[in-house]
Structure 1
Amino acid sequence: MQIELDKDRFERGLDQAARRLAQKYPIHGFRPGKAPRFMIERTFGRQELIKEATEDLVKKAVRDALEREQINPIGPLEFNELSSMEPFIFKVTVPVEPTVQIGDYRALRVPLDIPALEEEQLQRAMDKILDRHVALKELDEPRPAQEGDQLEVRLDTLVDGEPLDQREPDAPAPEQTLDLVEGRLVDELYQGLLGVTVGNTVEVKAAMPDDHPQEQVRGKEVVFKVEVLGMQERILPAWEELPALEEFEGSLEELRAKTRTELEASLRDGAERKTIDAFIDQLVQQTTFDVPDVMVENYANTLLEEQGQQFARYGITLEQMLEYRGQSREQALKTLLPEAERRVKITLTLHELLRQENIVLSEEELEAEQERLLLDYEGEQREQVAKLFNEQMREMIAHAALDRKLRAHILTLATAEVAPAE
């Protein structure tokens, strides 16, 4: 933006600058702050008076120009130059949200592939339900670990020789509970723990698959260092007792059928998320925009602060975390820039999709969302939570409801023809 002040506004700015100088510096023959402008100008010179007025003139002129042009900056403005003092002309660079062009998104198609529920998956789920009612028995006498035992261990997971979890140097590995049940642990770890005794420390190597849920270990060799601290025998109830233990009004087969329905719904939810995310990825790839650096830098800073909050739960400050990594704050931010840019692009793209599809949240939908959330509360607690929703969490609930509405609409776009938005 290039801004030029009219003469009257410029002179008013000089008047205010003169009063400030009169307060700062005594002028012979005048009480503090009472010297007239012509004396200030004669004493300090017109150029010095203009310099004193410049910062205030620029701030007010920029503020008025932004309001007049309806420009909403997304970051700090950069003062470029003062082109001329008389007339008073200057330039500023204003970071604004980019123009986003998402292309023909209605031509994008992503299939919804819902996997069938395997009987093995259902049985594992039933086993987990049964496990909720396990009883632990102390061993009558020390013995080697066997199938079904529960082990109290200190577990360190090493990738490329470094611990997977972030902790202070020389801090011990965290304590964990492991169920020595086939299928619940990595196969190599399960086999390596069979036969151990309390007080043993074992190291087990395992090759992680390329599709492992944890990105840090995909396709890598991992070393599990396990110190066995304690051992108990797990005693499971009979299957026939399970419905009563679960306070389920029905037979074991009916509980199994209910579990099947819940698992099938979960599989559908997962497939829908996969389809939606794939559609968003394709949408971002075909979208054109020029993302301002300040947006990416601000988001990288947000990501770093989020990391700091996560480590704060374990009593580790952000500064300690960076020191452990051997990074300065600037270096850490630089490593986060690619992820920050990816997320900023997704956000900008989805905002434009919301606009083009005219997806908004009505007051009735917001109230329905609050009522849905309140179902988990009763009586006086329900009233307190309702007040909290209205006074402090209304915006957060609205964002969540709008996000869910958008994702449902994306699923429709991805899998079927839809009518153009009005």
Structure 2
Amino acid sequence: MIKSEIKKLPGSQIEISVSVSWDEWEKYIELAAKDYSKEIKIQGFRAGKAPRDMVEKKVGTGALMDAAAQRVVQGTYPKVVTEQKIDAIGKPQAEIVKLAEGNDLEYKVVTSVIPEAKLKPWKKEIAKVNKEYEKKTAEVTKEEVEKEIEEIAKSRVQHVDVEREAQDGDNVILDFEVKKDGVPIENGTSKNHPMILGRGVFIPGFEEQVVGMKAGEIKDFELTFPKDYHAKNLAGIACLFTVTLNKVQERKTPDVSDEFARSLGKFKDLEDMRKNVTEGMEEEKKHELKEKRRGALIDALVENLEVEIPHVLVHEELHKMIGEFEMQLQGMNITFEQYLIQIKKTVDEIEKEWEPQAIKRVKAALALEELAKEQEIEIPAEEVEAEMNKALAQYKQIKDIEKNIDLARLYNYVKGMMQNEKVLEMMENVK
């Protein structure tokens, strides 16, 4: 028999007191003995075959009972959580309270739980946000359109070889080698390296030395790495740079004209391009306005949320945020560790900086979940499964994908996204 009692603690934690009868936990002693017999050598017996009394004599009664108690907790705690319908989160902390052969075993577990959230009256604040955003429009000015077209032209810049000295704004192709005390440094050599002068990509002084050089020219010069340079072995160190300038290219931006518009392959003329760009910018503004409105609605809802957030939820959210950021960095071919070196910060410092945002995200999730309960917004299982299948259908090898994806986790994720969408749509219609 298993008995349990729950006591609420501060910080959305609970203490669960569990009592396991002797006839229920006696079997765990045999299981613990079997585990030990696999790990230790007992003369005359194969691994895992030694009887309990021989194992107990070898490891000691205390060690065997402790191992059995740990097995009891592992075997009974999940049952208690299920039967008591506890929304446990994080890593539970267990403590054995009473352990004696022939008697009931007692233990306590302290665990964080999904916090109890309560929404105060919220409709007035939500209606106020909607009224404010209904006044805003997604209009695009002529000036904004012309600026966007100019940016498109700049992105189609052409590099034209020129026979003159390099100057700021030019694109140059060069070879360089860096030596410290006459020895090439690690990763200090590059061939046909492209660089736009004046952007300050290299250490201070490097680009200034290249300005004035001509194609085919070789130049030696000494520079000192900044004291705060990310490679500590070079910080504040003077090195010799040898640069060979292979090409000097002038960057020419095409004129904005009918010909330029047609060269993009999408437009009949410049006027057609203006129309297309205007429509695209309007759609983008509508999307931005919608996202800002939804952000304001969530902020207003969170203001009316009463909740005590456990630290474990904040920690999990921070871990998720770092994971999302790592994905962004991968697109730029940078690791999170390299990023930390560049900004000269530790993971702990980043987590401290991001904690307010993590708390905000946790509160937003809890507020939306609570509002869904209040408004009885539910997503039918068949709708969730249909959306899941759409996601899985994007992959050709669905069978292999299903082997590698936690489908239960994906189901909960998709369900949560769909539920939040319905909640937000409902909020947008509050007058």
Give yes or no for the alignment of 1:117 onto 2:145.
no
- Equivalent residue number for residue 291 of structure 1: 309
SS at 2:284 equivalent: helix
- Equivalent residue number for residue 6 of structure 1: 21
Deviation at 1:341, TM superposition (A): 2.3
Query: Aligned partners of 2:349 and 2:62: how far apart in 1?
Result: 43
TM-score normalized with structure 2 length? 0.62
SS at 1:78 equivalent: strand
Give yes or no for the alignment of 1:410 onto 2:424.
yes
Q: 1:97 corresponds to which letter in structure 2?
A: I
Query: Aligned partners of 2:151 and 2:296: how far apart in 1?
Result: 31
Q: 1:95 corresponds to which letter in structure 2?
A: S
- Equivalent residue number for residue 59 of structure 1: 74
Q: From 229, 241, 265, give the equivalent of 2:283.
A: 265
- Give unpaired runs (5+ residues) of structure 2: 1-15, 174-185, 200-207, 214-244
- Equivalent residue number for residue 244 of structure 1: 262
- Equivalent residue number for residue 379 of structure 1: none
- Equivalent residue number for residue 205 of structure 1: none
SS at 1:297 equivalent: helix
Query: Aligned partners of 2:145 and 2:371: how far apart in 1?
Result: 39
Percent identical: 17
Give yes or no for the alignment of 1:104 onto 2:121.
yes
More strand by share: 2
- Equivalent residue number for residue 360 of structure 1: 379
Could you tell me whether the CA contact under 8 Å between 2:372 and 2:423 is conserved in 1? Answer: no
SS at 1:95 equivalent: strand
Cα 1:288/1:83, change in 2 over 3 Å: farther
Query: Aligned partners of 2:263 and 2:69: how far apart in 1?
Result: 77
Could you tell me whether the CA contact under 8 Å between 1:4 and 1:89 is conserved in 2? Answer: yes
Query: Aligned partners of 1:404 and 1:177: how far apart in 2?
Result: 46
SS at 1:116 equivalent: coil
Could you tell me whether the CA contact under 8 Å between 1:130 and 1:239 is conserved in 2? Answer: no
Give yes or no for the alignment of 1:137 onto 2:160.
yes
Deviation at 1:303, TM superposition (A): 3.5
The one-character-per-residue Cα deviations of 1:341-377 (angstroms, maximum 9, x if unpaired) are: 2222222223333444415377568758987999xxx
Q: From 70, 86, 98, give the equivalent of 1:71.
A: 86
Cα 1:171/1:40, change in 2 over 3 Å: same
Cα 1:16/1:82, change in 2 over 3 Å: same
Deviation at 1:251, TM superposition (A): 5.0
Number of residue pairs the alignment of both structures matches? 348
Query: Aligned partners of 1:383 and 1:140: how far apart in 2?
Result: 52
Query: Aligned partners of 1:261 and 1:120: how far apart in 2?
Result: 14
Deviation at 1:266, TM superposition (A): 1.7
SS at 1:74 equivalent: strand
Deviation at 1:69, TM superposition (A): 2.2
Give yes or no for the alignment of 1:199 onto 2:217.
no
- Superposed, 1:15-414 pairs within 5 Å as 15-18=30-33, 24=40, 33=49, 35=51, 49-83=64-98, 85=100, 86-107=103-124, 108-109=126-127, 110=129, 111-112=132-133, 113-131=136-154, 134-139=157-162, 141-142=164-165, 151-152=170-171, 199=211, 231-237=249-255, 239-248=257-266, 250-307=268-325, 318=336, 322=340, 329-330=347-348, 332-357=350-375, 358-360=377-379, 363=382, 384=396, 403=417, 406-407=420-421, 410=424, 413-414=427-428
The one-character-per-residue Cα deviations of 1:45-99 (angstroms, maximum 9, x if unpaired) are: 8656533421111211212212322334321110134145432111001222112
Q: 2:424 corresponds to which letter in structure 1?
A: I
Cα 1:244/1:387, change in 2 over 3 Å: farther
Q: 1:294 corresponds to which letter in structure 2?
A: V
Q: 1:91 corresponds to which letter in structure 2?
A: K
Query: Aligned partners of 2:51 and 2:209: how far apart in 1?
Result: 92
Could you tell me whether the CA contact under 8 Å between 2:159 and 2:249 is conserved in 1? Answer: no
Could you tell me whether the CA contact under 8 Å between 1:2 and 1:90 is conserved in 2? Answer: yes
SS at 2:307 equivalent: coil
Query: Aligned partners of 1:31 and 1:123: how far apart in 2?
Result: 86
Query: Aligned partners of 1:251 and 1:324: how far apart in 2?
Result: 45
Deviation at 1:388, TM superposition (A): 8.8
TM-score normalized with structure 1 length? 0.63
